[in-house]
Structure 1
Amino acid sequence: MADWKPQNNGFYGQTQTPIPALDPPQKPKRNKYAFACAILASMTSILLGYDIGVMSGAGPFIQEDLNISDPQLEILMGILNVYSLLGSAAAGRTSDWVGRRYTIVLASAIFFVGAILMGFATSYAFLMVGRFVAGVGVGYALMIAPVYTAEVSPAASRGFLVSFPEVFINAGILLGYVSNYAFSKLPLHLGWRLMLGVGAIPSVFLALGPRWLVLQGRLGDAKRVLDKTSDSKEEAQLRLADIKEAAGIPEECNDDVVQVSKRSHGEDVWKELFLHPTPTVKHILLTGVGIHFFQQTSGIDAVVLYGPKIFEKAGITDKNFKLLATVAVGLVKTVFILVATFLLDRIGRRPLLLTSVAGMIVSLASLGVSLSIIDHSDKKLIWAVALAITSVLAYVATFSIGMGPITWVYSSEIFPLRLRAQGTSVGVAVNRVMSGIISMTFLSLYKAITIGGAFFLFMGVAMVGWVFFYTLLPETQGKTLEEMQVLFGTFFRWRSTMRELEKNNNGVNSTGDGNDNKVLLNYHLKKKIEMNIL
């Protein structure tokens, strides 16, 4: 933290030039430039979504054509998540060096090569090589999309914009399901290869942020980008001042290009995250990693990847009906994620997340019950089959309306600037590890404890996750990225800390001069320093 001294106004920082009072609050218009940047960045997430969706239907065809066992199929389905660890681990450092946009291009190029290799695979080993290359590209895409989008988004619409990666993941899943159905009528040796190879097409289009510009010392470029991506000139000034403070650049510096320390390229960040973290960083890291952990361990990839197997267990044996049922899953996921994008900045992260997880718990319980009844019945029970299908659709709907998008929104907005790229990559790494474990063990799991038992297990994990979210995750709606640090550091006592800060916040507002906008933002950090939290 910079060594600030109180000046004139009695708060931290240099003497402030009064910022004109804002007009009475009005709902800001949607920032078209930030919207366009978020769309372009988030489209990289289509790569992961398409792979998940297409492997769900292509897996049985691959197993039949290459004559592989169930354990080999499990590994093939889930290994991409493990391979993506390499990409997500490297993406943080890469994006700090070459920039967010070039990292997006790199992610697309790597996935393109992987998709081509998978499409031309002639053996299981060849196919695994393609999965490795595609996995690295997916890792890059998963890490960079929410980071870039969070950095160009104004606070008022950040939830809406940062949920876009999850929207495109779901769109990719739906495209994968549709691809499965479209190519399922082709000869066995050709159908699954086209399903996988078509994934190269989105990456071609994808190959054709301001905070990173500040970290490189390019203040002139950053000012221009912030002017375009902020809802007002005043917000742009506040965002730039807060970013300069986090980057260690004097607030009064207005040069277009300045010299910054090497630390801003990512050096020593890992030490600050893991070896010498402050209470604030510990709390942020715990919540950022925890939300990714529970998103995957509550079973979403088992449902999405093994949908045809689940529907088969539920009593649907016709191949076309199974593929159409998975298309319905993809459609429901896509519709409800679109609903979620409009609710995030209206309802808030916490209420939507807690409601979503509660719905998942109920859906998993009913799915476990229905599958257990079907599994132990000698005849086909239509009502149980209908309940199982309804439960699957309800589960993906409740997941998509909260748990799915909020995981990416929340983890990308809570880390301070200097730790954001690497901190987000840690969360993505945990996400991919747990996704890989679930997807590579689901078939073995349900054979060991029955398919109903597997979903009861996911239900138990979701219940633990609900308690974790309720007790440890503060609300972040409407906060600037640099102001976010004030919400963390007291762990289970964050509610009392927030009440105290809101009380003091009201005290600042009571001055009534209408020119405290910049002072108000800095006041939060000042109080936290006094409380020895930061």
Structure 2
Amino acid sequence: MEVESIELDSQKPPRKSGFNKYVLLCSLLASTNSVLLGYDIGVMSGAALYIKDAMKINSVKVEILVGSLNVCSLIGSLLSGKTSDLIGRRYTIVLAAMTFLVGAIVMGLAPNYGLLLAGRLLAGIAVGYALMIAPVYTSEIAPPSKRGFLASLPEFFIVMGILLGYISNYIFSGLSPNINWRLMLGIAAVPSVIIAAGVIIMPESPRWLVSKDRIEEAKAVLIKTSQSSHESELRLAEIVKAHEESKNNNTKGVWMEILRPTPAVRRMLVAAIGINFFMQASGNDAVIYYTPQVFKGAGIHSKKTLFGVNVIMGLSKTVFVLISAIFLDRFGRRPLLFIGTTGMAVSLAVLGGASKVIESSNHKPMWAIVVSIIAVCADVSFFSIGLGPITWVYSSEIFPSRIRAQASALAISVNRLVSGAVAMSFLSISEAISFGGMFLVLSGIMVVADVYFYFFLPETKGRTLEEMVKVFEKNDPGQET
């Protein structure tokens, strides 16, 4: 195909086209991988209570068990960039699902703490792969006008996984303490098989195919994922042109380009690493993991009641992540991000104040417990409006095609590292400064995040992936280009 014959400067691909159902189906299949992380986060919040009793382990070992998944997902995140560049986006999704399958089986059958931790390590590596590849694949296959919605689907499936984990806690909590946590963890093997099977009908990313000079295959994919043959030709020409310019202008390797970046790429790295850092520094994962312990300290001792509160929290997250996904392409990334982080700052401050009242009172006032429950639900809901979905969208869409996979993997590695550090220290720090003090610290971090986002994250809605360099060359974060 003579892609050079298409005039890109005079005729851009349509910005507002109808919704392509094939693109939606492929994005849904890729994003279902994120169910694995969400389920693990949700189910471990309850399973940890039974594991601690069944295996007679202390709080430090519980922290290690919970946080190890996040630390090991760092390995998967770092490996995912190179892997997806070598074998493609599609087969990387299969690799993630199969690795999680093995990890889930090992956890469910583990006779001791050591093997339970080993299964968790495998699951962590799989999660690292899944977190990078789902939004990258979706961003590369989606048209610009729908990319925000489609690339936020991984967060929706993370939230759905969390909700399923809570429901699993609630359903299996009535069984024997030696059986219930095994079923909670082991049943995660089922979605892994379904995900791997579903990938068979997915096409490969057209941008990855172009990077391997498989132009005709990329053209076939773009025809299926565009509204017309004319649009597919325009998109292909733009992708090929960007790929050729990238090859001609960059003689150094991918990692050298990341380590010695141009000013535009440097700003991309600052933006992507920053948003991934604050996503986990918000403490959202730790709040979800340890909510049962928080409310147990507040005077709610029934495990069934604790898990019921978790289900309510999961439903809140699900509703608000859908709201964010629907409006992300209409209002843009920055407005929803500011709403989310500001709301989290206020919610965490209220939660910290209510927790302080509970901690200083012998009678555990009911109004403070109710306020705490509302504040937790508000915190996770605002997270689902802003940082939750937008982190994945932003990290996957801003980098040039040549370095996208490995630069995204680097940013998500920071995400995993901070998540592990927070999860493995949350209880220890809370014991030192109290839960109330911990929530107040997290509230302050969200205030800092708002300032950071204002100065370093430009608006990207409606732009093609090939236009992102121009967006970041302008160095004007407040301008919608």
* TM-score, scaled to structure 2: 0.94
Deviation per CA, 1:274-320: give whole Å up to 9, x if none. Answer: 1x210001000000000000010011012111110112123212221
1:273 aligns with 2:258: yes
1:49–1:169 Cα contact (<8 Å) kept:
yes
Q: 1:245 aligns with which of 241, 248, 252?
A: 241
The answer for the alignment partner of 1:301 in structure 2 is 285
Match of 1:5 in 2: none
Structure 1 position 77, deviation (Å): 0.5
Give the C-alpha shift of residue 21 in structure 1: 7.4
Are 1:84 and 2:73 matched, yes or no?
yes
Residues 49 and 15 of structure 1: is their aligned pair in 2 closer, same or farther, counting only changes over 3 Å?
A: closer
Q: Tell me by how many angstroms 1:433 deviates.
A: 0.5
CA apart distance, 1:18:
8.7
Quote how far apart the aligned CAs of 1:227 are: 1.9
Asked whether the equivalents of residues 357 and 462 of structure 1 are also in contact (C-alpha less than 8 Å), the reply is yes
Return the match for 2:109 from 109, 112, 120.
120
1:235 matched residue in structure 2:
231
Q: Hey, what does 2:311 align to over in structure 1?
A: 327
CA shift digits 1:101-145 (9 cap, x unpaired): 111111101000000000000111011110111111111111100
Q: Which residue of 1 aligns with 2:83?
A: 94
Tell me if the contact between 2:6 and 2:237 (Cα under 8 Å) persists in the aligned partners.
Answer: no
Map 1:439-454; keep pairs closer than 5 Å: 439-454=423-438
Cα distance in 1 for partners of 2:457, 2:324 equals 19
Instruction: Call closer, same or farther: CA 1:241–1:321 in 2, change over 3 Å.
Output: same
* Alignment deviations for residues 465-515 of structure 1 (CA, whole Å, 9 cap, x no partner): 000001111110100000111111354x445xx58xx6xxxxxxxxxxxxx
User: Which residue is 1:135 aligned to?
Assistant: 124
Provide the residue aligned with 2:25 in structure 1.
Answer: 36
Compute the displacement of 1:22 (Å): 9.3
Q: Does 1:350 align with 2:334?
A: yes
Q: Give 1:20 deviation, angstroms.
A: 9.6
Give, in angstroms, the shift of residue 334 of structure 1.
1.1
* In 2, Cα distance between equivalents of 1:184 and 1:449: 31
- Per-residue CA distance 1:239-280 (angstroms, 9 max, x = gap): 212221222279xxxxxxxxx89x99xx81111001x21000
8 Å CA contact retained: 2:43, 2:166: yes
Following the alignment from structure 1 to structure 2, what is the Cα–Cα distance between the partners of residues 15 and 45?
A: 40
> What amino acid is the match of 1:40?
L
Among 94, 104, 108, the residue aligned to 1:105: 94
Are residues 127 and 21 of structure 1, via their aligned partners in 2, closer, same or farther at CA, if it must alter by over 3 Å? closer
Mapped pair 1:429 → 2:418? no
- The match for 2:462 among 470, 478, 487 is 478
Query: Where in structure 2 are there 5+ consecutive unaligned residues?
Result: 198-204
Whether 2:210 is the aligned partner of 1:210: answer: no
Q: SS of the residue aligned with 1:195?
A: helix
Q: Return the alpha-carbon distance in structure 1 between the equivalents of residues 244 and 436 of structure 2.
A: 55
Encode CA deviations 1:332-385: one digit per residue, 9 max, x unaligned. 111111111101011111101001111111100100000001100121211111
**Counterpart-to-counterpart distance in 1, 2:316 and 2:211:** 41
Is the radius of gyration larger for structure 1 or structure 2? 1
Q: 1:91 Cα deviation (Å)?
A: 1.0
Partner AA of 1:283 in structure 2: R
Label 1:145 to 1:15 Cα distance change in 2 as closer, same or farther (>3 A): closer
Which runs of structure 1 show a deviation greater than 3 angstroms over 4 or more consecutive aligned residues?
13-23, 231-235
Distance 1:15 1:195, change over 3 A: closer
CA deviations over 1:417-436 (Å, ceiling 9, x no partner): 00100011011101100110
Mark the CA change 1:219 to 1:77 in structure 2 (over 3 Å): closer, same or farther: same
**Cα distance change, pair 188–156 in 1 and its aligned pair in 2 (3 A):** same
Cα distance 1:221–1:60, how it changes in 2: closer, same or farther (>3 A)?
same
**Residues 103 and 123 of structure 2 are in contact (CA less than 8 Å); yes or no, is this contact kept in structure 1?**
yes
Q: 1:108 to 1:435 in 2, by over 3 A?
A: same
Could you tell me whether the CA contact under 8 Å between 2:298 and 2:364 is conserved in 1? Answer: no
Q: TM-score, normalised by structure 1?
A: 0.85
Paired AA for residue 63 in structure 1 = K
- 2:54 paired with 1:65: yes
2:202 aligned partner: none
Q: CA deviation at 1:87?
A: 1.1
Q: How many angstroms apart in 1 are the aligned matches of 2:254 and 2:106?
A: 36
Distance 1:400 1:97 in 2: 33
Residue 18 and residue 82 in structure 1: after superposition, are their counterparts in 2 closer, same or farther (change >3 A)? closer
Among candidates 25, 36, 52, match of residue 47 of structure 1: 36
1:158 corresponds to which letter in structure 2? Answer: R
| Structure 1 contact 313–371 (Cα < 8 Å) conserved | no
Q: CA RMSD in A?
A: 2.2
Number of residue equivalences? 471
Whole-angstrom CA distance in 2 between matches of 1:103 and 1:161 = 19
Equivalent pair of 1:55/1:77 in contact (CA under 8 Å): yes
CA–CA distance in 2 between the matches of 1:268 and 1:298? 34
Alpha-carbon distance, 1:235 to partner: 3.4
**Taking structure 1 as reference, are residues 442 and 20 closer, same or farther at Cα in structure 2, changes over 3 Å only?**
closer
Work out the CA distance in 1 between the residues paired with 2:329 and 2:18: 14
**1:526 aligned partner:** none
> Which residue of the partner structure matches residue 165 of structure 2?
176
Counterpart for residue 519 of structure 1:
none
Conserved? CA contact 1:246–1:418, under 8 Å: no
Distance 1:443 1:190 in 2: 26
Question: Do the aligned partners of 1:279 and 1:490 also contact (CA within 8 Å) in 2?
Answer: no
Q: Distance in 2 between matches of 1:18 and 1:463?
A: 42
Contact 1:283–1:490 at 8 Å: present in 2 too?
no
Separation (CA, whole Å) in 1 of partners of 2:466 and 2:383? 29
Task: Please list, as runs of the form range in 1=range in 2, the aligned pairs for 1:179-198 lying within 5 A after superposition.
Answer: 179-198=168-187
Note closer, same or farther for the CA distance 1:148–1:27 as it changes in structure 2 (3 Å cut): closer
Q: Which range moves more in the overlay, 308-317 or 126-135?
A: 308-317
Supply the distance in 1 between the matched residues of 2:443 and 2:414 (Cα, whole angstroms): 20
- Give the match for residue 393 of structure 1: 377
Aligned equivalent of 1:221: 217
Confirm or deny: 8 A CA contact 1:19 1:234 kept in the other structure.
Answer: no
- Over 3 Å counting, the alpha-carbon distance change for 1:41 and 1:376 in structure 2 is same
Aligned to 1:289: 273
Residue identity in the other structure for 2:176: P
Asked if structure 1 preserves the Cα contact closer than 8 Å seen for 2:15 and 2:145, the reply is no
Percent sequence identity over aligned pairs = 51
CA contact (8 A) 2:8 2:237 kept: no
Match of 2:201 in 1: none
